[in-house]
Amino acid sequence: MGEKQAHRDSLEQEMNGPTFWNDQERAKSIIAELKGLNALIKPFEDLVRQAENLEATIELAEEAETDEFDDEVRAATRQAEASFRAFELRSMLGGPNDHCNAFVRIHAGAGGTEACDWAEMLMRMYLMWAESKGLKAEITDREEGGAAGIQEASLHIKGEYAYGYLRGESGVHRLVRISPYDAAARRHTSFASVDVLPEVDDTIDIVLKDDDLKRDVFRSGGPGGQHQNKTESGVRYTHLPTGVAAESRSERSQHKNDANALALLKAKLIRMEEEKREAEYAKKYDEKGDVSFGNQIRSYVLQPYQLVKDARTGFEVGNPRAVLDGGLDGFIESYLRSKLAGAANS
C-alpha cells in the first residue's frame, strides 16, 4: 500500500503543476488513475484511523479498570470489523472497468406471466440493493409484461464500483414457487436473464465509426389514451460489424434517447471485449443459451422449501425474502472471492 500511496502523491503533484492541462489526453488518464487509487487508498487510510481510535479506546478501558468503556469498545470493534470486510471486498475489484457505473438489463424468459412477474421482482431486488449501498438507481427503460410484471427493463446504477460489484449478476436467474396466477395453486418454475454492463467514461478509448452504425427511430410506448407517445422519440443503434444493438425510449426527447442508446451500445461493446478476454464471450453473449432450465447461475426456491443458492460458488441463504429485499452482499462477495481464487490458481 505504501507504493500506491507514493504513486498517488506523485500524480497529485503532477496534477497541481502549471502545465498539467497542456496535454489533454494525459490529463484525463491521470485523473482516471487517481480516481482508482483514491477509491482504494482512502478506505485504507480510514481503516488505519479506526484501528488507532480503537486502540486508544482499549487503552482507556484498561486504565479505568472498570466496565464503563465496555459498550464503547464493543461498538468500535464491530464498526472496525465491518469496515475491514468492506475494504477487503473492494480490494477484490481490480478489473479495468470495475470502478464504472453500471447498466443492468433484465429480460423475462421462459414462463409467460410468471416470468414477467419474476423479472419485476429481480428489478425491485437490484433497486433495493442499490439503495442499501447509497448508490443512485433509476429505471431508464421498461416494457410491461401484459397481465403482470415486465417483459424487460433497464436500470442505470451510479456510484463507485457499481459495475464491479454487480458484474457477477449476469446470467439466468431461476424462481420456483406456488404461482399466485394459478387457480390450482401449482408450483411453477420461471426464468429471467440479467446482463450487467459498465458505463464507459471519456477516459476509455472506444471509437465508433459512422459507417459501422445503423440508427433507427421508433415510437416510444406509452400508457395509451391521451398520453400515448405519437412522436418517434425512441432511438436504436446497431453496430453492424458485431450485430450488437442498444435502444432507449424512456425520454420524451429524441436527443436524450440518442445519447442514452449510444452510451449503452458502447457499454455493450466494452463488455463484449472483456468477456472475450475472459474466454466467456460465447457462453454469456450470443451463444449463452436459452433463458430456461439448465442455464441458471442462481436458483431462488420459495416452495416447497426456502433457499437461494448460487450454482457457481455454492453459496446459499435460507431466507429468500431477505435476498429479494436487496440482500445480495453474500452472493457478490462469494463470486468475487471465487474469481480471485481462480486467477491465483491459473
Asked if 143 and 221 touch (Cβ cutoff 8 Å), the reply is yes
Taking the C-alpha atoms of residue 268 and residue 274, their distance in angstroms, rounded to an integer, is 10
Tell me: the pLDDT tens digits for 42-84?
Answer: 778 888 888 888 888 888 888 877 777 788 888 888 888 888 8
Give the model's pLDDT for residue 124.
98
Q: Mean pLDDT over all residues of the chain?
A: 84
115: which 3 cell numbers? 416470468
Asked if 291 and 109 touch (Cβ cutoff 8 Å), the reply is yes
Q: Answer with the residue of higher pLDDT: 85 or 165.
A: 165
φ/ψ of 82, rounded to 5, equals -65, -40
DSSP conformational letter for 198: E
Identify residue 145 by its one-letter amino acid code: G
Instruction: Walk across the sheet containing 150-158 and list its strands.
Output: 136-144, 150-158, 101-108, 187-199, 171-178, 296-301, 307-310, 316-317
163: which 3 cell numbers? 459495475
Assess whether pLDDT exceeds 60 at residue 336.
yes
Tell me: the pLDDT tens digits for 119-148?
Answer: 999 999 999 999 999 999 999 889 998 788
Taking the C-alpha atoms of residue 158 and residue 100, their distance in angstroms, rounded to an integer, is 8
Q: Answer with the residue of higher pLDDT: 173 or 248.
A: 173
Q: Kindly state which CATH superfamily the domain 2-90 is placed in.
A: Release factor (1.20.58.410)
DSSP conformational letter for 219: P
CA angle 253, 120, 286 (to 5 degrees): 75
Which residues, in sequence order, are bridge partners of residue 138? 156
Cβ-count burial 109-124 (b if 16+ within 10 Å, e if not): bbbbbbbbbbbbbbbe
φ/ψ of 308, rounded to 5, equals -120, 125
Where does CATH 3.30.70.1660 sit in the chain?
A: 98-346
Asked if 155 and 104 touch (Cβ cutoff 8 Å), the reply is yes
Who's near 167: CB < 8 A, 6+ residues apart?
A: 95, 98, 102, 196, 198
Tell me: the pLDDT tens digits for 270-284?
Answer: 877 767 655 543 344
Total Cβ atoms within 10 A of residue 243: 8
Where does CATH 1.20.58.410 sit in the chain?
A: 2-90
Assess whether pLDDT exceeds 90 at residue 165.
yes
What CATH number was assigned to the domain covering residues 98-346?
3.30.70.1660
* Percentage of residues in the chain having pLDDT higher than 90: 37
Tell me: the pLDDT tens digits for 189-235?
Answer: 999 999 999 887 655 556 788 899 999 998 765 444 444 445 678 89
CA angle 189, 325, 133 (to 5 degrees): 135
